[in-house]
Amino acid sequence: MEQWLVLLLVKLTVAASLASILSRSSKFLGLLLREERSLIERIQLGLGISGFCAASATVRLVTQFYPADLSLEGSLVAGIIGGYVSGLLTGVLASVPSMIRGEFLSMPLYAAVGVLGGLLRDLARDPEEIWKFSPFLDLSVYRLVRYPADRQRSAYHLAILATILLAELLRGMVRQFFGANQIFTLYPAASHWYVTLARYLTTVFATAIPIKVWNSARNERLLESKERLLTQARLAALSSQINPHFLFNTLNTLSSLIRTNPEEARKVVYKLSSILRRLLRKHENFSPLREELSFIEDYLSIEQQRFGEKLKVQKNIDPATLDLQVPAMVLQPVVENSLKHGLAGKVDGGVLTIESRIVDGRLRLLIADDGIGIEPSRLETLLDQGGIGMRNVNERLKVLFGDKYRLAVHSHPGEGTRTEVDLPVSAPVLP
């Protein structure tokens, strides 16, 4: 009799393996995530489960590997998760190999079990209760007694457990009254009590294991989805911090020009409106370097009004880099930092240098100035605790690229500052 106990344990392993394989399908996981499904989606869910059940029955018939057959358990699971349509369809299709072999009561039994599963789904107050099912009787009974507020859920879980046991009882009764050739069962006709107990427990766990495996896959997918939404919200928050920061400094320049040179102020307003229109139109995390440089040119034309002839701009742009994707609004805060903290404090002005090139298959961006430089004590914490512009640039690059980027700031007091941004040539696509 010990060999039957081993076969029952092997059956649980097969149930876990088949459930894990099916959970790797993105289409199947998408169906599991939707509790409200159309008729087509319920049919698709039934086809997915029935395909594996029919394959397991075929393996059992061809190779005599008896623990492979999970048709009864699969039909019940399909009904519990997908409802009547999925359960009935799975019961019918999963029984086809057995019917061909002459086990003619397989289809009525499996179809009935699938419908029973659909009935259980209808009894659920909340579909999420299905995924919280526990196969342990003592735990359900304990919760029923200990937590009055959750008694309805505990009673529902006990109903699922009773239905699974009923399905196994029906299979045993069909075998007893109609013969072993009419239905497949994985146990001898005359068995000890502990084998009978193990048979019922195996059916319970072979039904519960796919539910638990798929629930784990669902939770993982939901967690990934929430992480993507969190990343997008984080990027949006960082961008919203950068844009007002830029706008604030630009308006300060404009307010000064209005008093001293109204004509130039009108030109600045035109440039500012052009920049704001571009910001309002842009919702992507990435844009071609060409557009970012055009944005910087508009920004510098505004800052030129404040610096006058003291500000000189040098550009060394590799044409091969113009169409490469870079994070939107990643250069402007760096340029602003050079102007505000580097060149603004230099009496005779200075030179701002912007370069782009491809080095070792990566995009290298350089913004340099020959201004007053940054004190070593402030330079050490510039990217983590410094001004809002550089800190947010570093944070956005970290969110978008992880550890696949490099942002380095080199500076010596009285000599100027160099900021290097090293990025992958192919920008990642944020989900």
Domain boundaries, the chain: 2-225, 261-424
Give the pLDDT confidence of 259-312 residue by residue, as tens digits: 777 887 787 787 778 777 766 655 567 888 998 898 888 888 877 776 777 888
**What pairs with residue 100 in β-bridges?**
none
Report yes or no: 155 and 124 within 8 Å, Cβ to Cβ: no
pLDDT tens digits, 204-223: 999 999 999 999 888 888 77
pLDDT at 340 over 70: yes
Could you read off the pLDDT of 56-75 as tens digits, one per residue? 999 999 998 888 899 999 99
Q: What is the mean pLDDT of residues 184-198?
A: 74
pLDDT at 115 over 70: yes
pLDDT over 90 (residue 29):
no
DSSP result, 348-395: T-EEEEEEEEEETTEEEEEEEE-SS---HHHHTTHHHHS-HHHHHHHH
Q: pLDDT at position 70, please?
A: 92
**One-letter identity of residue 104:** F
d(CA 202, CA 122): 25
The pLDDT confidence band at residue 165, using thresholds 50, 70 and 90, is: very high
pLDDT tens digits for range 342-352: 787 776 778 99
- Residue 372 or residue 389, greater confidence: 372
- The CATH homologous superfamily for domain 261-424 is Histidine kinase-like ATPase, C-terminal domain (3.30.565.10)
pTM tops 0.85, yes or no: no
The answer on pLDDT for 194 being more than 80 is: no
What integer pLDDT is reported at residue 423 of this predicted model?
92
Give which of 331, 326, 337, 333 is closest to 401, Cα–Cα: 326
pLDDT at 152 over 90: no
* pLDDT reported for residue 430: 45
pLDDT tens readout for residues 2-16: 666 777 788 888 888
126-132 long-range Cβ contacts below 8 angstroms, 24+ apart: 127/35, 128/35, 129/153, 129/156, 129/157, 130/80, 130/81, 130/160, 130/211, 131/211, 131/214, 131/215, 131/218, 132/157, 132/215
